[in-house]
Amino acid sequence: MGAIAINNVVKRYGRGAKANQVIHGVSADITDGEFIVIVGPSGCGKSTLLRMVAGLEEISEGQISIGGRVVNDVEPADRDIAMVFQNYALYPHMSVYDNMAYGLKIARVPKAEIEARVQKAAAILEIGPFLQRTPRQLSGGQRQRVAMGRAIVRQPAAFLFDEPLSNLDAKLRAQTRLEIQKLHRELGVTSLFVTHDQVEAMTLAQRMIVMNAGRVEQIGTPEQVYGKPASSFVASFIGSPPMNLLPGIADGSRFTIGTGAQAVVLPLPGAAPRPGALMLGLRPEHAEIQPEGRWPLMVETVEMLGAERLVHGRIGGASGLELFTVRIDATLPPPRVGQAVHMTAAPDHLHWFDATTGLRVGA
C-alpha cells in the first residue's frame, strides 16, 4: 500500500529567533495509486515538501506516513520510495542496463529477478535497444526514460518526481508527459510529481496541490482548480493565459474600477455576492466581444496562436485602466489595434475574491 499522509508539516532552517520557516503547516492525504501533482512558482516550497517525503530533508514539525507507517525518522533507503530527479542522476560510466539494475544489486536481489525486472521496465519504456549503451550515447528524453526505468524496477510503494521534465525541450516534454500517464495507468503506483509548469500539472494530475509561499492554496482535481479557484493566486497561476483580475468596488449589479475622473462602472449580468471592495475574475475564453457588450476594451495588441487569437487591451476604453485579455477563435475577424470594442460575460463565469485576503467569495 502506497498511501501517503502529510499532517501539519513544518520546515524551518536554523533555530530560535533567526529560524527561517519555509513550509507552514502543510497537510494532504494521497490515496494508494493516486497521481498527485504539487505545483507552484519557484521558491514556494514544493521541492522541499517532496524531499521531506523522501527523507532528504528533516521535518521540523508534523508527521509524514507512507503506507500507514510513520517515516519521520526512517532513512530514505528504508521508505520504500523511488525518486526521479530533474538532472537524471545516471552513472555515466555504466550501461543503461547497469544503471537500472544497480539498486537491485545493492539490495542483493537474485540475478534472474533483476534481469526480469529490467527487461520488463525497458519494454514498458521502449528502451530495450539501448540497454548496452552508456548515458552519453542517449538523447535527453531517452536518459529521462532510463531514470524512470531505474525507479520502476525497484517496485516501490510510491514514485517521487522532482521536476523531471524541466531539461527537455517543448516537444519532448509533451511526449514524455504522455509516457508518464501511460506508465501510471499500467503500474498504478502512488505518485507525487513536482513542477512549476501549470500545463504539466493540468495534464498529468488526478488531483493537484497548489502551493504559494510554503502554504497550500488549494487541493483538488484540475477541473475543480481551474473552474473554481480558491483564491486570486490560484486563479492567476492556473490557466494560460491567466484569469483576468479586476480590483474594484461592488454595489449590487454595478462594479466600479478606478477612482475619480478615470473611474469606469461595469454593469454586471447579476448582483455581486456582497458590496464593497472585491476582485472580479473572468477567464479570457469566457469574455465575448459583441457589439451590444457593455464592458469597453481598448485593443493594444493581438496575438495569433494558430487555432485562436489573444486580444490584449485595457478595460475602460480610451481612459485605459486595467489590462485585460480575451481569447477568440482564429476563424473570427480580429479587432484592430487601437480599436474600441465591447465585451459581454455570462454571470456563471464571473469569479469573486476578497480584495484583502484574496480568498474566494461566494459559490
- Domains in the chain: ranges and CATH: 4-236 (3.40.50.300), 241-354 (no CATH)
Do 59 and 175 contact (CB within 8 A), yes or no?
no
Do 71 and 55 contact (CB within 8 A), yes or no?
yes
CA distances from 159 to 22, 65, 155, 192, 313 (A): 24, 14, 9, 6, 44
Residue 259 is predicted with a pLDDT of 79
- Which triple of cell numbers denotes residue 80? 520504500
Residue 87 is predicted with a pLDDT of 81
- Which triple of cell numbers denotes residue 86? 530533474
Out of 83-92, 118-127, 297-306, give the one with best mean pLDDT. 297-306
Residue 263 is predicted with a pLDDT of 86
In the sheet where 276-282 sits, what is the strand order? 264-267, 254-257, 244-251, 276-282, 351-354
Q: Cα(351)–Cα(245) distance, rounded to whole angstroms?
A: 9
Residue 173 is predicted with a pLDDT of 84
Tell me: the pLDDT tens digits for 146-168?
988 888 898 899 999 998 888 77
Residue 59 is predicted with a pLDDT of 95
Residue 354 is predicted with a pLDDT of 96
Tell me: the pLDDT tens digits for 260-274?
777 899 999 989 999
Portion of the chain with pLDDT greater than 70, in percent:
99
Residue 228 is predicted with a pLDDT of 96
Tell me: the pLDDT tens digits for 308-341?
999 999 987 555 678 999 999 999 999 999 999 9
Q: Is 320 left (phi over 0), alpha (psi -120 to 50) or beta?
A: left
Q: Cα(54)–Cα(322) distance, rounded to whole angstroms?
A: 44
Lowest mean pLDDT among 16-20, 129-133, 197-201: 16-20
Q: Which amino acid is located at 115 in the chain?
A: E
Select from 246, 315, 326, 245 the least CA-distant residue to 284.
Answer: 326
Number of Cβ atoms within 10 Å of the Cβ of 350: 19
